[in-house]
Amino acid sequence: MTQDAILIARSVFPEVEDKLRQHFQVETTPPGVVWSTAEFIERLRGKAGVLTTGGERIDAALLAACPQLKIVSNLAVGYNNFDLDAMSAAGVLGTNAPDVLTETTADFGFALLMATARRIAESEHYLRAGHWTQWSLDLFAGAEVHGSTLGILGMGRIGQAIARRGAHGFGMNVIYHNRSRLDADTEAACKARFVSKAELLAQADHLVLVLPYTPAAHHTIGAAEIAQMKPTATLINIARGGIVDDAALAKALREKRIAAAGLDVFEGEPKVHPDLLTVPNVVLTPHIASATIPTRTAMAMLAADNLIGYLVHGKPLTPLNPEVVA
Ligand code: 8YV
């Protein structure tokens, strides 16, 4: 039996590639290379499957150009790079990589919250620049974390994992808003209280965004929402670029309408709004919330197992549009 041909759209660890080579004819992408859309489509022609990251857009035009494609396996839990309706219409399965990154991403959300509240990046730059000449009472005095109110917008798996850290580890008062309220047992496990979006904005000392990106979620946090937050509050975005209006946030930070922000995701990343680069009270990281070696390996292995599961055995592990399989 001839093996299916697949493409790995961005370089992955050797053990992941080796696993895929046991089942497929594999075309890889060299480390550091990101294909343009035209180059990506060119390489995808004739392939039955592709392992993508959140950076490759899968839409009707691409699908029409690649009629042999059967599955797109995303190495990410988020899949806003997929036009899932177009994929279903073309009979192409989409899969994502949930669960394996939940705790690691929650760890990072908390790390970013603490770095932001306690002004770690700003004070480190100050020290490196040789400005530290004496101790003073208010030197980089930041916001309290323990015992404060943690607000979470988007209470899926990662939101719940952040809530547990806040409630059980830091004695925080956890409030959340979500499209639908969690069941009582889950709320109790997270020690989290459901509130309206307006209450969340008004009461949170630290507001963490963990909701998936959809067109309806575009600029969920803009100037009007920031105006409803406490002037002492911090805002953390580990969800997706576009959920926050980055220009409005940069302006608000400069005007100290809120105290600080921590951002791991950006509108139009890897480009970053130039105004964010010049305000001091923001911690900026390059979309690394899930980036530990074990977790990125697990994510890539799950993405590989989805390709093998579907193309070899007819059974994907984490399908997004399972109607395509049936
Ligand atoms: C990915 C992420 O590493 O899983 C997600 O949705 O945002 C990250 O964990 C990134 O999207 C690259 O695929």
Tell me the CA–centroid distance for residue 109 and ligand 1, in Å: 14
Percent of the chain with pLDDT over 70: 100
According to the CATH classification, is domain 102-284 in 3.40.50.720? yes
The CATH homologous superfamily for domain 5-99+293-324 is NAD(P)-binding Rossmann-like Domain (3.40.50.720)
Is the confidence at residue 1, as pLDDT, over 70? no
Please choose, from the candidates 326, 290, 294, the residue with its C-alpha nearest in 3D space to the C-alpha of residue 96: 290
Q: What is the pLDDT of residues 25-57, one digit of tens each?
A: 999 999 999 999 999 999 999 999 999 999 999
Q: Which residues are catalytic?
A: 240, 269, 287
Task: Among 77, 79, 264, say which to mutate for ligand 1: greatest number of ligand atoms within 8 Å of CB.
Answer: 77
Tell me the CA–centroid distance for residue 98 and ligand 1, in Å: 10
Q: pTM value?
A: 0.97
Mean per-residue pLDDT for 99-106?
98
What are the tokens at 236?
């953390």
Q: Which atom of ligand 1 is nearest to the CA of 240?
A: 7
Mean per-residue pLDDT for 53-67?
97
pLDDT at 326: 77
5-99+293-324 and 102-284 agree in CATH topology: yes
pLDDT at 22: 98
pLDDT at 16: 98
Q: What is the pLDDT of residues 264-322, one digit of tens each?
A: 999 999 999 999 999 999 999 999 999 999 999 999 999 999 999 999 999 999 999 99
* In the chain, where the domains are located: 5-99+293-324, 102-284
Is the confidence at residue 207, as pLDDT, over 90? yes
Q: Whose CA is nearest to atom 2 of ligand 1?
A: 76
Tell me the CA–centroid distance for residue 158 and ligand 1, in Å: 13
Alpha-helical regions (H) of the chain: 14-21, 37-44, 60-65, 84-89, 102-117, 120-128, 157-164, 170, 184-190, 197-203, 223-227, 246-254, 274-278, 293-311
Q: Is 326 in a helix, a strand, or coil?
A: coil
Cα-Cα-Cα-Cα dihedral of 180, 159, 277, 245, to 10°? Answer: 0
Q: How far is 221 from 237, CA to CA, in rounded Å? A: 10
Tell me the CA–centroid distance for residue 53 and ligand 1, in Å: 7
The neighbour count for residue 326, using CB atoms within 10 Å, is 5
Q: Which atom of ligand 1 is nearest to the CA of 52?
A: 13
pLDDT at 119: 98
**Which secondary-structure segment (H or E) carries 80?**
none
Provide residues with CB under 6 Å of ligand 1.
53-54, 75-78, 101, 290
Q: What is the pLDDT of residues 146-186, one digit of tens each?
A: 999 999 999 999 999 999 999 999 999 999 999 999 999 99
Cα-Cα-Cα-Cα dihedral of 24, 30, 34, 38, to 10°? Answer: -60
Q: How does the average pLDDT of the chain come out, rounded?
A: 97
Q: Whose CA is nearest to atom 9 of ligand 1?
A: 290
Q: Is 252 in a helix, a strand, or coil?
A: helix
Asked whether 212 and 156 are in contact (CB, 8 A), the reply is yes
pLDDT at 15: 98
Starting from the edge strand earliest in sequence, which strands make up the sheet with 5-8, in order? 25-27, 5-8, 49-52, 71-74, 93-95
